[in-house]
């Protein structure tokens, strides 16, 4: 079934989209998110269509796309300078002993793997803070804020903490993934970008998409019974 791309808000030089989980941003020409957006906007409407920040293929939620080069430079500088508030909802395995905490294990700038989430080579500062929102029998729903921007940062920190993101095919266990697929018919990943806040031409822009995608919500609620 084709996934329809929703425009959440637009400003001068940018568009905010709701990215479905499982859809590549720009690595699948003709079928990815930017191709879909270009079809809907039509030719010649924008100078460029360029994502301002990264969102993994499996992750759903808010994505900022620049429509002119000046805005792309300005917003990219805000993200690189840590001047954008980025929050996610993450459904992870297991329970927590405390209601909030910090993950600060240094990570490589490139992706890690299931057996070595930190990554090989030089590791740099990585800071993630979490707060417990709710829990079910097997899972916990977290509100997560990113203070640095390492690739797969939430997914890697969650794995290192012993609480991998539910449905994470790269860092989760094959056994858990097989159970989710065969017993729960769940083939998504429990990570949702729901909050962005930044300064844009003198005003504060706050973008929110608080509801979990239906497939994640269904899995979480069914585990409460």
The catalytic residue positions are: 56
Query: What is residue 157's three-state secondary structure?
Result: helix
The DSSP code for 152 is: T
Which residue, among 1, 38, 45, 31, has the nearest Cα to 17 in the 3D structure? Answer: 38
Hey, what long-range contacts does 218-221 have (CB within 8 A, 24 or more apart)? 219/91, 219/139, 219/166, 219/180, 219/184, 219/186, 219/190, 220/91, 220/134, 220/136, 220/139, 220/141, 220/190, 221/136
Which residue, among 86, 174, 147, 58, has the nearest Cα to 157 in the 3D structure? Answer: 147
- How many angstroms separate the Cα of 106 from the Cα of each of 100, 103, 187? 19, 9, 29
């Amino acid at each position: 079934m084709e996934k329809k791309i929703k425009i959440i808000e637009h400003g001068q030089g940018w568009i905010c989209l709701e990215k479905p989980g499982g859809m590549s941003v720009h690595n699948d020409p003709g079928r990815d998110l930017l191709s879909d957006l270009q079809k809907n906007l039509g030719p010649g409407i924008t100078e460029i269509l360029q994502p301002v920040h990264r969102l993994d293929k499996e992750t759903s939620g808010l994505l900022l796309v620049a429509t002119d080069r000046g805005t792309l430079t300005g917003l990219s500088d805000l993200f690189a300078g840590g001047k954008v508030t980025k929050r996610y909802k993450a459904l992870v395995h297991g329970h927590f002993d405390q209601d909030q905490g910090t993950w600060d294990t240094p990570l490589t700038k490139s992706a890690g793997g299931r057996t070595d989430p930190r990554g090989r080579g030089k590791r740099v500062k990585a800071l993630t803070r979490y707060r417990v929102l709710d829990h079910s029998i097997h899972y916990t729903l977290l509100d997560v804020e990113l203070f640095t921007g390492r690739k797969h940062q939430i997914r890697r920190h969650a794995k290192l903490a012993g609480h991998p993101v539910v449905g994470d095919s790269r860092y989760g266990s094959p056994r858990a993934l097989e159970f989710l697929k065969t017993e729960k018919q769940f083939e998504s990943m429990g990570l949702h970008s729901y909050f962005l806040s930044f300064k844009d031409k003198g005003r504060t822009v706050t973008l929110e998409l608080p509801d979990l995608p239906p497939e994640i919500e269904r899995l979480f609620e069914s585990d409460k019974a």
